[in-house]
Chain A
């Protein structure tokens, strides 16, 4: 075979090889991304979830059944911040006062969550 043909074929093979690899991996990564996003959406929508979070009580609003708590990260729900949470029953914040460091249980179908239990950690 003539040299220029060999060279042309070689370059074609290189280009096709690189392109095929890119398309193959690219498609695979895109599919995995889609599946991951789907799995995340399924995991977090319409399903009741529960978190146990550490925080410090900043305010108690019994008339609204709300506790304002400065908390750490709540995985998949919210970043660390100071936030008011509904309590599942008025009994829950009995015995809790401002400045208490607590560990509380948050339960519900996001974004509709409420504090179902709370205990002082110190």
Chain B
């Protein structure tokens, strides 16, 4: 089924693209009275009729396979009812409907026996074929991966539409052009030779512009669908894209040779120069066209492969390059700087060598050596060990519940060696071949979440760190990774006090979920962009005075855009009852979810009573540690006003640690 669907997709894509290219090539070549030119036009038209039928037939096959996938059973592929449902009820179905309609009209136009003897009629009929072909091709973009890009879906669809239309003109035009050149290179085709040369020149000019558009849109689409290097080398989609790029480069190299060498030689007249050159050009153009068909086969495979952005990449190399490696290593920094300058020098030399006519070879060779030396100097210090999971994104978001379970797991499994506080000072760690890592240290930030996940799963044999891949589930290991992130950022936050640093957010507040009584649960995330959150971790036995103080200024805080969320550290279930009549607390008191919140946020500050000021972007900006006595709420309000005065809010943090 998969192979059948793939073959149908390839046939459909190729025929739809060739339809556009054939029609465009005819228009580009223009009308001619030469018999050979006319014969060529008729042959291309006859081919187009076949292509239109093939596009319709293979399109139906793709639709049938898609229906089977949607319905989840192979039998649905042949049921008219199921197909009709897909056509009418899904976006991809609507796209098919529109495209089928346009293809049928195009087929009718191609089969009709309209007279095109007069120039106006010819232009109208041939132009219409281009228009209908393009209109039937472009909507593909609205049913492919581009339609699933979030955000900026419309932009991605527009780019994809441009990309396929460009592919139609370039890729689709190659084979018809090769046919024309062959016909004209023939002994009996002499009458069409000037026509063919003109057509080749026009196509070459148009193709240059189109290729630029293809490269630009292709790059932007690759960024949207793949995102980063890890996605490119570590996922099936990324590797297909690399294969496509390789073939594209081959086709472009052929195109460059055609443009620079073969096209110029057509000018020579007579059978000795012109005809052999033309035949060679035809062969090269046909070769380009065949590579293009292979590219389309890869594109068809990509269209049924989940985009890299939605996959967990498996990093294939033992190292990766990162500027983080330079932190705290000034000597390496100098080396990288010098190396990069040498490399730039090499690039300049290379450009000069290519631009100059004389002494090109020694210049280019010298420049390449300099470039290589620069790269060799600059890159090694940037290398960091990497593992297959290095670029995996955590499947568990950075949330209080995950951090809390991670903290519990840490106490059970890790604290004996790494120490309760993570300083690497656990009693069992003394006997290990290498002292256990200090998990609070800033170097933890040097490693990706995927690195930590790898070590947790597979251990570090040389250091005596055991593997937990069997003992702990994947989710538990991500919980630990989230806890470790909280631990190291908590350590970095130990100096954070009750005053904010304006415009300098860095400490991400882990998301959490809480509920007040039987009301539906709410999360911190829901307040993003809307409210500042004052998160109060309190112990009722000592915090009554402070709660009363906050409750007394309820209205002021609400006016300043503050949502107060009080989280009891004990006896959450009847927390509201325990507060009772006095003070009259009307802000949110978490009766559910408080344990996880307290456990996770305790990693950032351990005082008996802690208040976190969380800005609208979801960053912890100030931490007030106390013992629960009434303090000076005016100070807190002053900090809130400073938050409100911040001009450009920084972007919200991502939901997952990196």
Chain A interfacial positions (CB closer than 8 Å to B): 2-4, 6-8, 10-11, 14, 54-59, 68, 70-73, 80, 82, 97-101, 121
Q: Interface code B511-522, partner A: CB below 8 Å = 1, 0 otherwise?
A: 000001111101
Q: How many residues of B contact A (CB 8 A)?
A: 35
A98 to B578, CA, bound (A): 9
- Contact across chains for A73 and B585 when beta carbons are under 8 A apart: no
B110-118, B251-259, B453-461: which lies at the A interface? Answer: B110-118
- Contact across chains for A58 and B586 when beta carbons are under 8 A apart: yes
**Within the complex, which residue of A3, A7, A59, A80 is in contact with B584, where a contact is CB–CB below 8 Å?**
A59
**B579 touches A (CB below 8 Å):** yes
Q: Tell me, rounded to whole Å, the shortest Cβ–Cβ distance linking A87 to chain B.
A: 17
- The count of A-to-B residue pairs whose CB atoms sit within 8 angstroms is 81
A-B contact pairs, 7 of them (CB 8 A): A3-B122, A6-B125, A8-B124, A55-B517, A56-B519, A82-B588, A99-B579
- Contact across chains for A56 and B576 when beta carbons are under 8 A apart: yes
Chain A residues with CB under 8 Å of B517's CB are 54-56, 70, 101
CB neighbors of A among B513-547 (8 A): 516-520, 522
Asked if A10 meets B519 with Cβ closer than 8 Å, knowing A2-B118, A98-B581, the reply is: no
**Within the complex, which residue of A7, A11, A55, A97 is in contact with B519, where a contact is CB–CB below 8 Å?**
A55
Q: Which B residue's beta carbon lies closest to that of A54?
A: B518
Chain A residues with CB under 8 Å of B574's CB are 99
- Contact across chains for B516 and A3 when beta carbons are under 8 A apart: no
- Contact across chains for A99 and B109 when beta carbons are under 8 A apart: no
Chain B residues with CB under 8 Å of A70's CB are 516-517, 519, 588
CB neighbors of A among B252-271 (8 A): none
- Contact across chains for A3 and B115 when beta carbons are under 8 A apart: yes
- Contact across chains for A3 and B585 when beta carbons are under 8 A apart: no
A100 to B588, CA, bound (A): 15
Q: Tell me, rounded to whole Å, the shortest Cβ–Cβ distance linking B622 to chain A.
A: 25
A113 to B116, CA, bound (A): 77
A14 to B591, CA, bound (A): 62
- Contact across chains for A68 and B124 when beta carbons are under 8 A apart: no
Q: Tell me, rounded to whole Å, the shortest Cβ–Cβ distance linking A41 to chain B.
A: 27
**Within the complex, which residue of B116, B576, B580, B587 is in contact with A3, where a contact is CB–CB below 8 Å?**
B116
Q: Which B residue's beta carbon lies closest to that of A97?
A: B577
Q: Which A residue's beta carbon lies closest to that of B116?
A: A3
Chain B residues with CB under 8 Å of A11's CB are 128
A56 to B573, CA, bound (A): 12
A100 to B579, CA, bound (A): 12
Q: Which B residue's beta carbon lies closest to that of A17?
A: B101
A7 to B580, CA, bound (A): 82
Chain B residues with CB under 8 Å of A121's CB are 518
Q: Tell me, rounded to whole Å, the shortest Cβ–Cβ distance linking B125 to chain A.
A: 5
A2 to B119, CA, bound (A): 11
Given contacts A3-B125, A7-B125, A121-B518, could you give 18 more A-B pairs where the C-beta distance is less than 8 Å? A2-B115, A3-B114, A3-B115, A7-B124, A7-B127, A10-B109, A11-B128, A14-B105, A54-B519, A56-B519, A58-B576, A58-B585, A70-B517, A72-B520, A80-B519, A82-B586, A98-B580, A99-B579
Chain B residues with CB under 8 Å of A8's CB are 124
Q: Tell me, rounded to whole Å, the shortest Cβ–Cβ distance linking B492 to chain A.
A: 36
**B385 touches A (CB below 8 Å):** no
Q: Interface code B140-171, partner A: CB below 8 Å = 1, 0 otherwise?
A: 00000000000000000000000000000000
A56 to B572, CA, bound (A): 14
Chain A residues with CB under 8 Å of B124's CB are 3-4, 6-8
Chain A residues with CB under 8 Å of B591's CB are 56
**B559 touches A (CB below 8 Å):** no
A71 to B520, CA, bound (A): 9
CB neighbors of A among B379-434 (8 A): none
Chain A residues with CB under 8 Å of B128's CB are 7, 10-11
Q: Which B residue's beta carbon lies closest to that of A71?
A: B519
Asked if A72 meets B112 with Cβ closer than 8 Å, knowing A10-B105, A82-B586, A99-B579, the reply is: no
**Within the complex, which residue of A73, A80, A98 is in contact with B577, where a contact is CB–CB below 8 Å?**
A98
Chain B residues with CB under 8 Å of A71's CB are 519
**B79 touches A (CB below 8 Å):** no
Q: Which A residue's beta carbon lies closest to that of B131?
A: A11
- Contact across chains for B516 and A56 when beta carbons are under 8 A apart: yes
Q: Tell me, rounded to whole Å, the shortest Cβ–Cβ distance linking B169 to chain A.
A: 21
Q: Tell me, rounded to whole Å, the shortest Cβ–Cβ distance linking A57 to chain B.
A: 8
Q: Which A residue's beta carbon lies closest to that of B135?
A: A14
**B1 touches A (CB below 8 Å):** no
A21 to B125, CA, bound (A): 26
Chain B residues with CB under 8 Å of A80's CB are 519-520, 522
